[in-house]
Amino acid sequence: MKPTADALVTLDVETPIWDAFFLVNPLVVVGTREPDGRFDLAPKHMAFPMGWDNFFGFVCTPRHRTYHNAKREGGFTVSYPNPDQVVLASLSASPRCENDSKPIVELLPTFPARVIEGVLLEDASLYFECALERVIDGFGVNSLVTGRIVAAYVRERALRSWDRDDNEVVREAPLLAYLQPGRFAVIRESQAFPFPDHFER
C-alpha cells in the first residue's frame, strides 16, 4: 500500500461512526402543526433535495413530534436560517415542558406559510413549503420524511442571476453550515467547480 502523510484509522462500524469526524451539512428549521393547532419548529441538519425535481427530505425519528406532525398533517415547512440566526435555530431545539408544550417556539419570529398550514422563520434566506410525499422508516431508529415542494421563496440577495457573479451572491448572502457534530461555519467565499468538458448531470 502506498504510504500517505496521514495514516488511515479504521472505524468500528458496529457502532455509529458520525461523531468521529466532521461533515458539512445545511442547517434548516422544519415547521409542523401540532395536534392542538399550534406550530412546532425544530432544527434539522440531515436535510437535502431528493433528486433534481422539486422534492425535499430530512431525517427524523418517531421519537420526535416533527415526525408525527408531518405524517398527520400531510406537510411541513423548511426555513434556511442566515448565519446571524444560528441562536434562533438552536432555540428551536429547546426541550418541551412537563405539559408537552414548547413555549419557546411562540417567541421565535415567524410568519404564516402561504400554501401549507404552517409557519416560516422570519428573515431566513430560503423557504420551502412541502406536501408530504412519503415517510420511509427503518434506518435504525431513524426515518426519512420526504415532501413535494409546493411553494418556494428566496431572498433577492440570495437569488442567482445571469448578471451576477456566483461568488458575489455567496458573499452578499453567506450560507450557514452545520458541521456535524456540534459546530457551525459561515460560508462567504466559493469557487467554480472544475467540471470536465461535456459533463452532464
pLDDT score of 2: 65
Q: Which pLDDT belongs to residue 5?
A: 65
Any idea what DSSP says for residue 18?
A: T
Provide the whole-model pTM.
0.92
Contact 158, 169 (CB under 8 A): yes
What is the SS3 assignment for 60?
Answer: strand
186-195 CB contacts, 8 Å cutoff, 24+ apart: 186/83, 190/166, 191/167, 192/166
Signed CA dihedral, 171, 175, 177, 183: sign only? positive
Residue 161 parent element (H or E): none
- As a whole number of angstroms, the distance between CA 186 and CA 44 comes to 17
d(CA 103, CA 101): 6
Q: What pLDDT was estimated at residue 179? A: 97
Domains and CATH numbers, the chain: 23-187 (2.30.110.10)
Q: What separation in angstroms does the CA of 150 have from each of 77, 127, 156?
A: 10, 11, 20
Q: Is 138 left (phi over 0), alpha (psi -120 to 50) or beta?
A: left
Report mean pLDDT in 10-residue bins for the chain, 201 residues. 76 96 97 94 97 98 96 98 94 80 84 97 97 98 98 97 95 96 96 86 75
Q: What is the pLDDT of residue 4?
A: 67
